[in-house]
Amino acid sequence: MEIITRQQKMASVAKKLRRENRVLGFVPTMGALHEGHLSLIQKARQMTDEVIVSIFVNPTQFNEGTDFEAYPRDLTADAEILSPFDVDYIYAPDSSEVYGDEYSTFVTVDDIADKLEGSSRPGHFRGVATIVTILFNTIRPDFAFFGQKDAQQVAVIRRLVRDLRFDTEIIVLPIVREDSGLARSSRNERLSAADRKSAAVIFRALSAANEMAMDGERSAGNITDKVREVIETEPSGSIDYIALVNKESLDPIEKIGKEPALLAVAVRFGDIRLIDNIVLNEEE
Ligand code: PAF
């Protein structure tokens, strides 16, 4: 496993590998690696010849400077976590390497980036779309791997890839959960022990909604009411939003039809805002 910190070196290594007809798999991360990331890396290992993991805490996707500064950074620990996974390259540039002097080009995915997370985190997806564009242009991967946990990020990136004609196939892997059902996230580490336990209510609520849908319930109102009722059994949780939307456009839906419907929630426990989702009506 080689650690590359320079953009030019990463680009030339990737170019050489492509010339040798190696299939490139790319897993973009911000470090603080957990089981969710590892499931992406394992899939990349199965599907591709060369696995490249980027570790870069992207300043342009943070709304508040304090969040950016507080984000955990430990390249040595992350590299150690990756060592059993047969990763070929870690790309860990610093900020000046990615956003050089007078950086001024940003990528905006209209409409879907403004919904759900976009309204509480303005500019977040502009930062995500910009860094993903820069990384894809550096590496030009054949496949890039993302987690369904960040369902809106997936919708934004799919749209970005489609609209800007990136020659990269996006592979999305299921949410990895703790034993309690809580979706794995680097934020879980910052929950108090009590809140971490209470936050399992989110998955109980999503599961109750899924059962309702499987039993034939079609009304978004009834389903989201149920989710609210279950989450409210935990007084320490404060609901930011509960939304039932089209999985691709993220437009709200009133009745579940034939298309898969994304049930997405954001709930705060103390200072920590957690997101989670489940896709209803999806064929396996
Ligand atoms: O999901 C993340 O960790 C980040 O948003 C990503 C895709 C690595 C871009 O910084």
Q: Tell whether 107 and 193 lie within a shared domain.
A: no
Q: What mean pLDDT comes out for the span 173-192?
A: 96
Cα(157) to ligand 1 centroid in Å equals 10
Task: Of 189, 146, 129, give the one whose Cα is nearest residue 37.
Answer: 146
Please tell me the residue having the least CA distance from ligand 1 atom 2. Answer: 29
Check whether 283 has a pLDDT greater than 80: no
- The residue with tokens 């997405």 is 264
Q: Tell whether 81 and 214 lie within a shared domain.
A: no
Give, for ligand 1, the residue of 38, 153, 158, 175 to mutate: max count of ligand atoms closer than 8 Å to Cβ: 153
- The residue with tokens 């894809």 is 136
pLDDT tens figures, 94-144: 999 999 889 999 999 999 999 999 988 999 999 999 999 999 999 999 999
Q: Tell whether 165 and 190 lie within a shared domain.
A: no
- Using left for φ > 0, alpha for ψ between -120 and 50, and beta otherwise, residue 28 falls in beta
22-26, 64-68, 194-198, range with the lowest pLDDT: 64-68
- Number of domains, the chain: 2
- Taking the C-alpha atoms of residue 23 and residue 52, their distance in angstroms, rounded to an integer, is 11
- Residue 200 is predicted with a pLDDT of 98
Residue 147 beta carbon below 6 angstroms from any ligand 1 atom: no
Helix, strand counts (H, E) of the chain: 11, 9
Whether residue 179 lies inside any domain: the answer is no
Task: Of 15, 26, 81, 83, give the one whose Cα is nearest residue 51.
Answer: 26
Check whether 65 has a pLDDT greater than 90: no
Q: Tell whether 203 and 240 lie within a shared domain.
A: yes
Give, for ligand 1, the residue of 150, 157, 166, 186 to mutate: max count of ligand atoms closer than 8 Å to Cβ: 150
Q: Tell whether 33 and 133 lie within a shared domain.
A: yes
Domain with residue 210: its CATH number is: 3.30.1300.10
Whether residue 180 lies inside any domain: the answer is no
What residues are paired with 237 via a beta bridge? 269
Check whether 180 has a pLDDT greater than 90: yes
Q: Tell whether 196 and 248 lie within a shared domain.
A: yes
Residue 98 beta carbon below 6 angstroms from any ligand 1 atom: no
Check whether 38 has a pLDDT greater than 80: yes
DSSP states of 166-204 as a string?
-S-EEEEEPPPB-TTSPBP-GGGGGS-HHHHHHTTHHHH
Residue 29 beta carbon below 6 angstroms from any ligand 1 atom: yes
Check whether 6 has a pLDDT greater than 80: yes
Please tell me the residue having the least CA distance from ligand 1 atom 9. Answer: 128
- Taking the C-alpha atoms of residue 181 and residue 3, their distance in angstroms, rounded to an integer, is 34
For the chain, give the percent of residues with pLDDT over 90.
94
- Residue 66 is predicted with a pLDDT of 82
Q: Tell whether 206 and 145 lie within a shared domain.
A: no
Whether residue 178 lies inside any domain: the answer is no
Task: Of 158, 138, 137, 135, give the one whose Cα is nearest residue 146.
Answer: 158
Q: Tell whether 24 and 131 lie within a shared domain.
A: yes
Domain that holds residue 199: 186-279
Entry pTM: 0.96
Q: Tell whether 136 and 60 lie within a shared domain.
A: yes
Check whether 278 has a pLDDT greater than 70: yes
Q: Tell whether 28 and 85 lie within a shared domain.
A: yes
Residue type, 53: V
Q: Tell whether 103 and 214 lie within a shared domain.
A: no
Check whether 282 has a pLDDT greater than 90: no
Residue 148 beta carbon below 6 angstroms from any ligand 1 atom: no
Whether residue 225 lies inside any domain: the answer is yes
Of all atoms in ligand 1, which is nearest to the CA of residue 58?
Answer: 10
pLDDT tens figures, 220-266: 999 999 999 999 999 999 999 999 999 999 999 999 998 889 999 99
- The residue with tokens 């809140």 is 195
Domain boundary among the residues 141, 173, 205 is at: 173
Whether residue 181 lies inside any domain: the answer is no
Q: Tell whether 200 and 163 lie within a shared domain.
A: no
